[in-house]
Structure 1
Amino acid sequence: MATTAPSSDQNPEVENGEESEVHVFSSAAELLEKLQDKWRSVKPQPYPAMYSSVFGGIILDPALMVIPMDDHMVHRGHGVFDTAIILGGHLYELDVHLTRFLKSASKAKIVSPFPKSTLRSILIQLAAASQCRKGTLRYWLSAGPGDFLLSPAGCPKSAFYAIVIDEDFEQCKEGVKVITSTIPMKTPLFATMKNVNYMPNVLSKMEAEEQGDFASIWVDEEGYIAEGPNVNVGFITHDKELILPEFDKILRGCTAARLLELAPKLVEQHRLKSVRTDNLTIEEAKNAAEMMYIGSTLPVLPIIAWDEKPIGDGKVGELTMALSDLVWEDMVAGPKTRRIPVPYV
């Protein structure tokens, strides 16, 4: 899962489309040596630890951080996933993410091999084993390995995988530009379920990058604002109202939900007039005073232009950054119920 295929100039078996002899690995030891040799040159190591219920434990050797090809998540996309942030040696919002994770699994008709408490314990132990103090913890539930058929009936048991990604991220303070996506968005059933089929999301992101922009915005079939390719979106009106699109057709982002809980502090300070979710047309949204993406590692990313049209004055908004500060401070030093300490050895 964590490995990447070598490029053609690194692979002697792929050269100008000519026929060549394919190497046959005669033993597991020979293959392992090949994989380990590849990872020795990767510095720093981006994946310090992985858990696999197939192996039944935590893996520290990146050469072995793999999943079976006959896992139905691989060849049928029958799996769900979620992510938690590791920041300052704490896991942020793990319980909230786990709750959503299991709801997604239920919608996907995947029964977890472990109860929620065991999943939680595994993830905390994995974070500790990784020794990572800043990064992301990603985890998946799949129908499991078994065969290559359409139905998962031949899969004896579902599988749980998780990996720690050692990555640096900071509070976003620079604004980005976005476009309206032409890629059809997912139907509500799949959009509200955090499943592994992210092809529409990938194509939507690529579409924006091909135009020199950061990402995109989906608009639903009724003409209302939906979400970004892997983030929620929010707006501040000229009347200083914070509005996020309704969550009935899109994923209820954990960070977006937390922002809605924290934002009333700005109402108390008379900086915001109100905080709510509502349907917004594309015209209403583009005429907003400020606009932002909302997601786990951002946590709030200012948007300064949409389809080449400036949002507000085309600069990073003051209230956008005030909201960003609220969530970032919550991530760094918020309530203990939101931040689970990792018991590093």
Structure 2
Amino acid sequence: MSRTVYVNGRYVPESEASVSVFDRGFLFADGIYEVTAVLNGRLVDFEGHVARLHRSLNELNMHLSLNDNALRDIHRQLIDKNDLQEGLVYLQVTRGVADRDFAYPDAQTPVTLVAFTQQKAIIDSPLADRGLKVISLPDMRWGRRDIKTVQLLYPSMAKMEAKKRGADDAWLVESGLVTEASSSNAWIVDHDNTLITRELSRSLLHGITRRTIMQLAQQHDMKVEERGFTIKEAQNAREAFVTSATSLVYPVVSIDQRPVGEGWPGEISRALRRLYIDASLQSLDAGQGQA
């Protein structure tokens, strides 16, 4: 069946969805996006994703006329129209249509807004069971990684290089320290069971799932430390894992072909994944999530 997608105020079959060839998202990657997980037909951490969307808009001097309720309704409509029970809703905002020029229009120019759903097994993911194999690569992305832009060519190249080497993903390294994975935040667990992840800055995306995992860890008396770490430290750690909206928590079992810990998903990363899923489902059941 063809999906129903949202394009600038209209819900249309995916075969009829289109934007202008002069859209700045197409010409300059001048756009931002958010991905929100869907469990049991409901949105997870929606408020956090919308807050980050507004932050990205502000950083790029882009203006979106729709309020948060309207954005929520778009997500709900897409979930209903596509009968999505588990997966994601992808939302993208670009600076809109203008003749090609490096100088972009002012903030009042109408933006282009598109959204669509994707089915994905999130809770029962094979990658969560077997864990990820990752490689390390230099971080060659632009300097404003805290803005969730559609400039994803280098992360795509990193992912493909990982697959070429028989791995699942890449951890990116700058000035000797891991920034993040190609599309998720990177974590390690030291031998004192302290969770370690890079502090927030312009060097990495301010992950919504990262934030929730930190809150859950602290609620369960787990120590969390925000700092950079090297690939060697990660290889010698007790455990490693990544967090993102659609992976939730994936254990990392090897880095550059060297096993992490015992070389299989560790108990702490598996426990954090269960805590996140349980907390999300409980929140949805209590009516705190968005239908």
Same fold (TM over 0.5): yes
Identity %: 22
Query: What is the correspondence of 1:161-310 to structure 2 with a 5 Å cutoff?
Result: 161-169=114-122, 170-171=124-125, 172-182=128-138, 184-187=140-143, 189=144, 191-221=145-175, 223-248=176-201, 249-267=203-221, 272=222, 274-310=223-259
CA distance in 2, matches of 1:224, 1:184: 13
Q: Partner residue of 1:87?
A: 39
Distance 1:255 1:337, change over 3 A: farther
- Structure 1 residue 130, shift from structure 2 partner: 2.4
* Structure 1 segments unaligned to the other structure (5+ residues): 1-43
8 A contact 1:181–1:207 mirrored in 2:
no
8 A contact 2:146–2:205 mirrored in 1:
yes
- Which letter does structure 2 place at the counterpart of 1:339? G
3-state SS, counterpart of residue 302 of structure 1:
strand
- Which letter does structure 1 place at the counterpart of 2:86? K
- Structure 1 residue 156, shift from structure 2 partner: 4.2
Structure 1: 4+ residue segments shifted above 6 A: none
Q: Partner residue of 1:6?
A: none
Instruction: Kindly provide the CA deviation profile for residues 31-65 of structure 1, in whole angstroms up to 9, marking residues without a partner as x.
Output: xxxxxxxxxxxxx54xx221111xx3211x22112
CA distance in 1, matches of 2:233, 2:93: 39
Is 1:340 the counterpart of 2:290? The answer is yes
Q: Structure 1 stretch 118-127 or stretch 207-216: which is displaced more?
A: 118-127
Is 1:52 the counterpart of 2:14? The answer is no
- The alignment covers a number of residue pairs equal to 285
Q: Partner residue of 1:103?
A: 55
Given the alignment, which residue of 90, 102, 107 partners 1:150? 102
Larger fraction in strand: 2
Q: TM-score, normalised by structure 1?
A: 0.78
CA RMSD after TM alignment: 1.9
Is 1:317 the counterpart of 2:273? The answer is no
Q: Partner residue of 2:86?
A: 134
3-state SS, counterpart of residue 263 of structure 2:
coil
- Structure 1 residue 227, shift from structure 2 partner: 0.3
* Structure 2 segments unaligned to the other structure (5+ residues): none
Instruction: Kindly provide the CA deviation profile for residues 228-286 of structure 1, in whole angstroms up to 9, marking residues without a partner as x.
Output: 0000111111111111111212101111110001112432xxxx4x1221222333222
Larger radius of gyration: 1
